[in-house]
Amino acid sequence: MRVAFTSDIHIDLNGPAVLDALVARARAVAPDVLIISGDIATGATTYLSTLLALKTTAPRLLVVAGNHDVWTSPEALQKGLDSWVRLDKLLPALCTEAGAELLDAGPVEIDGIGFAGSLGWYDLTTREHILDAPMEAYREGVWGGLRWTDHTYAIWNGPDGTPMSMEAVAEVLRERLAAHLRALTTRRIVVATHTLPFLDQIHRKEHPGWRFVNAFMGSLPMGDVIRADPRVVLAIAGHTHLGSDLRIGRMRAVVSPLGYNKEWKGSTPAAAVANALKVVEL
């Protein structure tokens, strides 16, 4: 089985020419399964049209949500459309309409291989302790002139109608992923998350702003859930726009994001997508 994957395609920001390049590249690769590991587009219209275009490139299109895909707005919140509604209702509906499968909603088995996935969330376990930022700064997402935009746009209301903590969101999504893994009956599993499950996937830079943002990159307990299942042969993630390819026990852990076009350092869309779209034979 040929599996192709990338993440962080941000088509609402990167524009249709980048989607065209990605579609052309995916067609050339001709995968059996194409996986996009989150951050497709914030707006529902672009999200849907992107999936419809990508669905023409592979028999199965598997998707996990990214933080940008569950962003809400003050107007939407007024109507009760928080990030849970986007994750559990809007995105599954858009995926169904496009013929894609949202792994956050449940695992799938294709020709004897299981696929499980989750947006995941961050819980400050990837925080850089060398940075002397107070806990309050992480809670508010504001420090040294920097603002972590999820704290404004990703609002997860709890049963009492008040926003849940990031740790509580990470725990709910981790438990869901664990349940999805338990539900699979295959001997081999591919896991796709948006946020990072492993510490070595965090890029370290001696820049205070970078160090602050690293706190919002992922969740190490989510990595423990993935690592605890010996059937997982490949773990895909995104969220950081810097790639990595690691061996963790029996598992290969790959981050291969497309990222924002302003990050490409002069590269063309065709070259950027060729670099980002990874292909594995399973």
Q: Looking at the chain, list the stretches that DSSP marks H as alpha helix, in order from N- to C-terminal side.
A: 11-14, 16-29, 44-55, 74-78, 83-85, 91-98, 135-140, 150-153, 166-183, 208-213, 220-227, 269-276
The distance of closest approach from Cβ of residue 4 to Fe ion in the complex, given in angstroms and rounded to an integer, is 18
CB nearer to Fe ion: pick between 113 and 217: 217
CB nearer to Fe ion: pick between 110 and 169: 169
CB nearer to Fe ion: pick between 227 and 239: 239
Q: Six-digit token pair at 120?
A: 């995941």
The distance of closest approach from Cβ of residue 87 to Fe ion in the complex, given in angstroms and rounded to an integer, is 14
The distance of closest approach from Cβ of residue 240 to Fe ion in the complex, given in angstroms and rounded to an integer, is 8
Q: Examine residue 8 and tell whether it contacts Fe ion (CB under 5 A).
A: yes
Closest CA relative to residue 6, chosen from 16, 23, 206, 15: 23
* Longest Cα–Cα distance in the chain: 50
Which span (22-30, 52-60, 67-75, 97-105) binds Fe ion, by CB under 5 A? 67-75
Binding-residue pattern over the window 201 to 240 for Fe ion, x denoting contact by CB under 5 A? --------------------------------------x-
Closest CA relative to residue 110, chosen from 183, 189, 182, 36: 189
* R_g of the chain, CA atoms, integer Å: 18
Q: Examine residue 197 and tell whether it contacts Fe ion (CB under 5 A).
A: no
Count of CB atoms within 10 A of residue 271's CB? 13
Q: Looking at 87-159, list the stretches that DSSP marks H as alpha helix, in order from N- to C-terminal side.
A: 91-98, 135-140, 150-153
Q: Examine residue 39 and tell whether it contacts Fe ion (CB under 5 A).
A: yes
CB nearer to Fe ion: pick between 31 and 259: 259
Q: Examine residue 66 and tell whether it contacts Fe ion (CB under 5 A).
A: yes
- Placement of tokens 């160090």 in the chain: 211
The distance of closest approach from Cβ of residue 203 to Fe ion in the complex, given in angstroms and rounded to an integer, is 14
Q: Examine residue 70 and tell whether it contacts Fe ion (CB under 5 A).
A: no
The distance of closest approach from Cβ of residue 155 to Fe ion in the complex, given in angstroms and rounded to an integer, is 16
- Our CA angle for 144, 212, 126, nearest 5°, is 165
The distance of closest approach from Cβ of residue 219 to Fe ion in the complex, given in angstroms and rounded to an integer, is 13
* Residues at the interface with Fe ion (CB under 5 A): 8, 39, 66-67, 239
